[in-house]
Chain A
Amino acid sequence: MTDLAEAEEPLNVQSGPIRACANVCEAAGCMSLDAEKVLDALRERATERGLTDVAVKRVGCLRLCAAGPLVEIPEQERLFEAVDPTSPASVDRVIDALAGGEGGRSTADDPFFARQVRIVLANSGLVDPEDFDDYLAHEGYAALTQAVTTMRPYEVLEEIVHSGLRGRGGAGYPTGLKWRTVAKASSTEGKYVICNADEGDPGAFMDRSVLESVPQQVLEGMAIAGYAVGANHGYIYVRAEYPLAVKRLRLAIRQAERAGMLGASIAETAFAFDVDIRIGAGAFVCGEETALIASVEGRRGTPRPRPPFPAQSGLWGRPTLINNVETLASVPAILRNGATWYRDIGTPKSAGTKVFALAGRVVNTGLIEVPMGVTLRDIVFDIGGGIIGGAKFKAVQTGGPSGGCIPAEDLDMSVDYESLAQAGSIMGSGGMIVMDETSCMVDVAKYFMDFCRDESCGKCIPCRVGTVQLYNLLDRITRGEAESKDLVTLEHLADMVKSTSLCGLGQSAPNPIFSTLRYFRDEYVSHIEDRICPAGVCPMTSAVTS
């Protein structure tokens, strides 16, 4: 393997040693802004100008999605925003810098980049997601090779336990403990590892970017997990809405198989592990473990009561480890650098880093990876560059439809699993939506309830009926037709849906109501008593007549 790693060089315009390389972001955001044409234009122009010691290559997400199409010259720590392939001047600005000139935005002291700590995204924007050798040249598959050739499965497992890694899909269950349960489960018919890439929270695109940017890293994490728990088969369950991620995963699997990093005898050992892709068909509830398993089996994605947990009885009744994309993508770096190294990042209870998709009314929308324990203020105002147009910050929503809204007075809280839960929200999978004064918090609660009502699978009554009734109550409030007693009913019903629903979807569906009531109760009151929407969002149809 070392031969291959040393043989690797970036895609050149010309052969020979490379002085600088222009990395062109080809993740979905920039792709939809014609990033492929940017790559072609840069290559063409570099050739025209006779530059022989530079390269232009495709890479994964460069993270500042708001300013795409993006091109970065990592050697110079310079980023070029909104590169226009049809404008010779725009193309030349990049080429001039490649040739040794000035230009672009310095990433070295820009807080958006400087404040980030990259583990999961370390290779995103650096490695060509479609080039296996490029991944290999950036320590790719070093962790898997190390695991299968020098470690016993339980040693790998204990390393993950000690690292303090917790599930990045939302709930934050200790990953090592989950692995240990599956490892202990006995099965004569085999075990499975499933990568949950059914990123369903609206406003979350972390997993999409990881899959599009570093698909090999996810596969490597899966194979390591398979080795640790004794599974030989893996599935990636990915949303049909992410075609580029699916395409790159398919390619990555074929490449890894050819290179002996997936399939039989991995890294020339007796360990075998294969990975297959399963594509979803648009059902939010399939992010729930047992519903996801039903969907992989080709059935309606409805959850079932737990226990038995998938770790004991999962896919086709066999022990199954289900981890989220970001969790698995964290694994290779932990093995390479050691559990202690990882544990020292973040907070004592929430180790490591978390990737967030920063969006909404914030200047720097895009993908960020920060150590656990940074404050929300740091994220919104330092990394995020504050609110668009200098408007007033109102709230930040985390955790999607299962999460909550955190107001301005809590901006200095630490971002970790426990603090977010205390504030009435959740870490969630990493969607972070910033809102300004133009958002009505009752309407926000209604928006999420509309989502849950629509996505409820219909199996259990509290969720199927409760979400509809909660939506109707919120709808009445936003139309100025509610009375004070409706607020009492709303809280009572929200409590019931939370405590009696079958799965996480229903249990967490009322969270947006709870958190907006906790911090923005006055908005509910003014809708009901004064028939006024303070943000001016709601139609308040009866306001005229009352």
Chain B
Amino acid sequence: MSTAVTAATTADDKKWKMIDARIRRRGNSPDSLIEVLHAVQEAFGYLEPDVLAYVGNALGVPPSRVYGVATFYSLFMLKPQGEHTVIVCTGTACYINHASALLSRVHDRLDIKPGETSHDGLVSLLNARCLGACSMAPAVVVDGNVHGRVTPEGIGLLLEGLRP
């Protein structure tokens, strides 16, 4: 137990060092807020309230503004995400090519809608406003890998593949 805690703390320390470095690189400048939040999310997977407070303090930005920015932009996550991320593109080309059928299939399987995480914490479902992969519509991104011309059966298989 104690070893696990130590390991987690050390890993976190590294992440904090990375974030501090990013803050310093832009000279603690308030206009680097979005960039720093990107770095925090990259490190921790989402934006925790304490971390938001820390960032605000370091950049001299009031908490209200940090929270305002974090909630304004759709790519910033304020809740922990699942182990795997499945993004279904719902841009126009994907919409025309029936992306909604893919979302319903995920809903049937995992009972989640875009923005939600499955009960076992395994899969987070997101929808994208166009990934620019229109020629492969409908497109699905699983953990950063783009899959094109996905059918409802196809997304079922992709979900199967995420099972531990």
Contacts and interface: CB of A to CB of B under 8 A. Distances in A.
Contact of A208 (B68, B93, B132): B132
B31 interface: yes
B30 interface: yes
Given A28-B132, A281-B34, A300 B69 contact: yes
B46 interface: no
A142 interface: no
Given A66-B135, A282-B75, A447-B92, A201 B34 contact: no
**Interface size class, chain B:** 35 or more
B137 A299 contact: no
Interface string A434-450: 01000100000001000
A501 interface: no
Contact of A199 (B72, B90, B132, B147): B132
Contact of A29 (B32, B61, B136): B136
B96 interface: yes
Interface string B124-142: 0000111111111100000
A5 B96 CA distance: 46
B73 A202 contact: no
Residue among B35, B90, B129 having the largest count of chain A Cβ atoms under 10 Å? B129
Contact of A295 (B34, B93, B147, B148): B34
Contacts of B75: 240-241, 281-282
Contact of B38 (A29, A240, A447): A240
Contacts of A280: 34, 73
B129 A451 contact: yes
Interface in A1-59: 28-29, 32-33
A29 B135 contact: yes
B33 A360 contact: no
A5 to B, nearest CB: 32
A29 B96 contact: no
Contacts of A33: 136, 148
A298 B34 contact: yes
A435 B129 CA distance: 19
Given A202-B91, A283-B72, A298 B31 contact: yes
Interface in A410-467: 431, 433, 435, 439, 447, 451, 454-455, 457
Contacts of A202: 90-93, 95, 129-130
Given A65-B136, A283-B73, A360-B93, A203 B130 contact: yes
A517 interface: no
Given A32-B136, A240-B75, A298-B31, A284 B92 contact: no
A53 to B, nearest CB: 34
A332 interface: no
A379 interface: no
A208 B74 CA distance: 20
A32 B128 contact: no
B93 A359 contact: yes
B31 A282 contact: no
A146 B74 CA distance: 43
Given A359-B93, A359-B137, A301 B72 contact: yes
Nearest to A300: B72
A302 B147 CA distance: 33
A400 B132 CA distance: 13
Nearest to B26: A298
B92 A360 contact: yes
A281 B131 contact: no
B3 interface: no
Nearest to B135: A65
A454 B74 CA distance: 10
B2 interface: no
Given A279-B38, A281-B38, A298-B34, A203 B134 contact: yes
A480 interface: no
B96 A298 contact: no
Nearest to B139: A32
B37 to A, nearest CB: 7
A524 interface: no
Contacts of A397: 92
A138 B125 CA distance: 44
A382 B128 CA distance: 31
B92 A359 contact: yes
A126 B63 CA distance: 49
A299 B65 contact: yes
A283 B131 CA distance: 13
Interface string B69-100: 10011111000000000000011110111000
26 contacts: A29-B133, A32-B147, A202-B92, A202-B95, A203-B92, A203-B130, A204-B134, A205-B132, A208-B132, A241-B132, A242-B132, A281-B74, A283-B72, A299-B65, A301-B73, A359-B93, A360-B92, A360-B93, A361-B97, A365-B93, A365-B135, A366-B135, A431-B92, A447-B92, A447-B95, A451-B129
Given A29-B133, A433-B93, 17 more contacts: A33-B136, A66-B135, A202-B90, A202-B92, A202-B129, A202-B130, A205-B133, A298-B35, A298-B61, A299-B33, A299-B69, A357-B132, A359-B92, A360-B96, A360-B137, A447-B92, A454-B129
Interface of B: 29-35, 37-38, 61, 65, 68-69, 72-76, 90-93, 95-97, 128-137, 145-148
Interface of A: 28-29, 32-33, 65-66, 68, 199-205, 208, 240-242, 278-284, 295-302, 357, 359-361, 365-366, 397, 400, 431, 433, 435, 439, 447, 451, 454-455, 457
5 A-B pairs with least C-beta separation? A203-B92, A65-B135, A281-B73, A205-B132, A202-B91
